[in-house]
């Protein structure tokens, strides 16, 4: 039964009340766990992922959250439905940024192609656990501390500035494996084998327990998961204050990452302006949170409607995609006009 307008207003982005019943929570968490188990079974035997396989799973993991969104819209009304779809779009956009870092980590650790999907799956599980913790903490903070909206807004604005600076310097995604504390910690207490032993994290050699490079890359992925959780959870709380919607949008955005990685592996390098787009989106949501906090103190301060947020986010993503592809085409055209030695070709 659709919610009445007063209930919808009470459960908009300013509230931490959840529209979900305990049964819906249990069913959603159960479905997420079942999908994770299915993914582990599919990756039990390491193999190289074909484009056909990756595309089929990517379609499934896009259709599933959209179908769930249709259910949310039909059961709870358009306001909650728009909050869910906007939150999902934000999380999906940020998850593409995750893929850049995963791609660099897999390359830095020289992960064999047949093991890459298992590494990504571990990364997704770690991200889900961490974001679950952050979502619970965020809900508690918003419920008890009104200035938490201001704090979340400040976090997003600071993140946007950092992304923008890195993008303008030309090193938006830099991974220094040796500088990661998780990697240094493992190397300090355990010997590490020189090669991979399938998806095994530990082996025993000459009676000594040793870690494999597979463990190091998993630890590195977990370390980056912490950073992404700090950004993504406040971002979606800027769209909706409902912990259930925050969890659902995060879970559905993350579940499809493994397949999406292999579909977009070649295309990722062409999204050269994605950093600008993500900075703009995070800054916009940060301002939205600050305005929401101010509106609670001064009623004259305007708020940004969720539907307007959806329009802005879509417009930013379309714009940076168009400008990225145009920039890549210009660069490729310029390179074609220059010979390998660097001198201009004769007309």
Q: Is the pLDDT of residue 144 over 60?
A: yes
For residue 100, being part of any structural domain is answered with yes
Q: Is the pLDDT of residue 15 over 60?
A: no
Taking alpha carbons only, the member of 231, 230, 284, 225 closest to residue 257 is: 225
Instruction: Give the per-residue pLDDT at 14.
Output: 41
pLDDT band at 266 (very low <50, low <70, confident <90, very high): low
The DSSP secondary-structure symbol of 3 reads P
pTM of the model: 0.74
For residue 274, being part of any structural domain is answered with no
The average pLDDT across 205-219 equals 84
Instruction: Give the per-residue pLDDT at 12.
Output: 39
| Number of domains within the chain | 1
Task: Name the percent of the chain in helix, strand, coil, to the closest 5.
Answer: 75, 5, 25
Q: Please report where in the chains the tokens 């703009």 appear, as a residue.
A: 280
The average pLDDT across 277-296 equals 82
For residue 323, being part of any structural domain is answered with no
The average pLDDT across 272-278 equals 81
For residue 314, being part of any structural domain is answered with no
> Which string of b and e fits 137-164 if b means at least 16 CB within 10 Å?
ebbebbeeeeebbbbbbebbbebbeebb
Instruction: Give the per-residue pLDDT at 173.
Output: 55
pLDDT band at 72 (very low <50, low <70, confident <90, very high): very high
The average pLDDT across 90-109 equals 79
Q: Is the pLDDT of residue 118 over 80?
A: yes
For residue 178, being part of any structural domain is answered with yes
Q: Which residue has the higher pLDDT, 195 or 63?
A: 63
Q: Which residue has the higher pLDDT, 144 or 256?
A: 256
User: How far are the Cα atoms of 66, 226, 278, 309 from residue 283, in angstroms, in the given order?
Assistant: 26, 20, 8, 12
pLDDT band at 212 (very low <50, low <70, confident <90, very high): confident
For residue 231, being part of any structural domain is answered with yes
For residue 152, being part of any structural domain is answered with no
Instruction: Give the per-residue pLDDT at 252.
Output: 92
pLDDT band at 16 (very low <50, low <70, confident <90, very high): low
Look at 8-22, 149-163, 265-279, 299-313 and tell me which has the smallest mean pLDDT: 8-22
Q: What tens digit of pLDDT does each residue of 94-103 get?
A: 877 777 778 7
Q: Which residue has the higher pLDDT, 139 or 57?
A: 57
**How much of the chain, in percent, has pLDDT values that exceed 90?**
16
For residue 338, being part of any structural domain is answered with no
Instruction: Give the per-residue pLDDT at 317.
Output: 84
Q: Is the pLDDT of residue 58 over 80?
A: yes
Residue-range definition of the domain harbouring residue 33: 5-143+172-263
C-alpha–C-alpha distance, residues 261 and 105, integer Å: 13
Q: Which of 22-31, 152-161, 273-282, 311-320 has the highest mean pLDDT?
A: 22-31
Q: Which of 173-182, 240-249, 267-276, 295-304 has the highest mean pLDDT?
A: 240-249
> Which string of b and e fits 172-207 if b means at least 16 CB within 10 Å?
beebeeeebebbeebeeeeeebeebeebeeeeeeee
Look at 158-162, 239-243, 254-258 and tell me which has the smallest mean pLDDT: 158-162
Q: Is the pLDDT of residue 125 over 80?
A: yes
């Amino acid at each position: 039964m659709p919610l009445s307008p007063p209930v919808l207003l009470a459960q908009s982005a300013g509230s931490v009340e959840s529209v979900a019943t305990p049964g819906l929570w249990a069913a959603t968490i159960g479905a997420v766990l079942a999908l994770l188990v299915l993914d582990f079974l599919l990756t039990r035997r390491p193999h190289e992922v074909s484009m056909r396989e990756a595309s089929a799973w990517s379609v499934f993991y896009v259709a599933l959250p959209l179908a769930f969104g249709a259910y949310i819209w039909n059961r709870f009304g358009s306001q909650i439905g728009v909050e869910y779809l906007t939150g999902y779009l934000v999380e999906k956009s940020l998850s593409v940024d995750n893929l850049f870092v995963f791609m660099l980590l897999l390359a830095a650790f020289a992960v064999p192609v047949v093991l890459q999907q298992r590494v990504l799956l571990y990364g997704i599980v770690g991200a889900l656990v961490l974001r679950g913790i952050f979502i619970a903490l965020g809900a508690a903070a918003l419920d008890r501390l009104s200035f938490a909206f201001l704090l979340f807004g400040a976090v997003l604005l600071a993140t946007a500035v950092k992304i923008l600076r890195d993008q303008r310097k030309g090193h938006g995604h830099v991974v220094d494996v040796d500088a990661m504390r998780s990697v240094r910690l493992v190397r300090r207490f355990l010997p590490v084998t020189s090669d991979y032993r399938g998806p095994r994290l530990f082996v025993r050699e000459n009676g000594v327990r040793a870690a494999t490079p597979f463990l190091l890359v998993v630890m590195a992925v977990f370390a980056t998961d912490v950073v992404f959780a700090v950004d993504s959870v406040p971002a979606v709380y800027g769209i909706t204050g409902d912990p259930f919607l925050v969890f659902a949008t995060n879970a559905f955005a993350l579940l499809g990452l493994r397949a999406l990685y292999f579909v977009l592996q070649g295309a990722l390098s062409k999204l050269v302006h994605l950093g600008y787009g993500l900075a703009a989106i995070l800054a916009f949501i940060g301002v939205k949170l600050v305005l929401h906090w101010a509106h609670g103190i001064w009623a004259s301060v305007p708020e940004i409607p969720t539907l307007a947020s959806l329009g802005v986010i879509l417009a930013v993503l379309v714009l940076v995609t168009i400008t990225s592809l145009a920039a890549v085409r210009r660069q490729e055209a310029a390179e074609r006009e220059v010979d390998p030695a660097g001198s201009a070709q004769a007309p």
